[in-house]
């Protein structure tokens, strides 16, 4: 079951949910609005080979914003450290942002129990759009689990505080 906004506040206060920094005004009826941090990664226009580390450049967002271009992939991250040892997190876009043609969390919306960090955001747009640091870009919801937590989360993306590229090429090195 999804937690209500009041329950999210209560569980943050009880330290069963981590949202840091936490702003009460970002709480919605069933979610919390997270913000875009100051750095994004822009992939180089080359072909991306799943067996190789992709090429990218790091861009620091300023108060003037940065214009994302259609057909490109960008990685950002949340300002907030988000997660829980007690609930599953799901990161989704905001309707207001989607209506501007900006999509995020293209494939990786699920946050496993025990995963707590600044989340990398997958950003793409259908028309040029200017993004700004600290804008409310998406929402996170918290879901209760059914069953016991017998499998611990030990993920390769745990603990990053900046946008982080895919480590998939390491997996392909091991497949034969």
User: CA nearest 143: which of 78, 86, 82, 80?
Assistant: 86
Q: What are phi and psi of 40, to 5 degrees?
A: -135, 155
Tell me how far CA of residue 11 lies from CA of 46, 85, 113, in angstroms.
45, 11, 15
Tell me how far CA of residue 156 lies from CA of 93, 100, 159, 164, 167, in angstroms.
23, 32, 9, 10, 8
How far apart CA 58 and CA 41 sit, in angstroms, is: 5
Q: Which residues are catalytic?
A: 122
Structure-token pair, residue 34 = 């997270």
E strands of 105-153, at which residues? 110-111, 116-125, 129-131, 136-143
How far apart CA 141 and CA 53 sit, in angstroms, is: 31
Task: Decide: 133 and 38 in contact? Cβ < 8 Å.
Answer: yes
């Amino acid at each position: 079951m999804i937690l209500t906004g009041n329950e999210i506040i209560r569980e943050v206060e009880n330290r069963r949910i981590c949202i840091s920094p936490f702003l009460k005004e970002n709480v919605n009826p069933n979610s919390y609005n997270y913000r875009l941090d100051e750095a994004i990664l822009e992939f180089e226009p080359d072909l991306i080979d799943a067996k190789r580390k992709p090429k990218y450049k790091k861009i620091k967002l300023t108060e003037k914003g940065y214009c994302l271009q259609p057909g490109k992939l960008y990685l950002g991250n949340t300002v907030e450290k988000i997660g829980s040892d007690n609930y599953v997190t799901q990161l989704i876009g905001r309707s207001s942002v989607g209506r501007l043609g900006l999509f995020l969390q293209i494939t990786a919306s699920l946050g496993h129990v025990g995963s707590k960090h600044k989340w990398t955001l997958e950003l793409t747009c259908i028309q040029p759009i200017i993004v700004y640091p600290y804008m409310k870009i998406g929402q996170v919801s918290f879901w209760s689990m059914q069953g016991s937590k017998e499998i611990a989360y030990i993920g390769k993306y745990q603990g990053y505080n900046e946008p982080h590229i895919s480590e998939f090429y390491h997996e392909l090195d091991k497949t034969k």
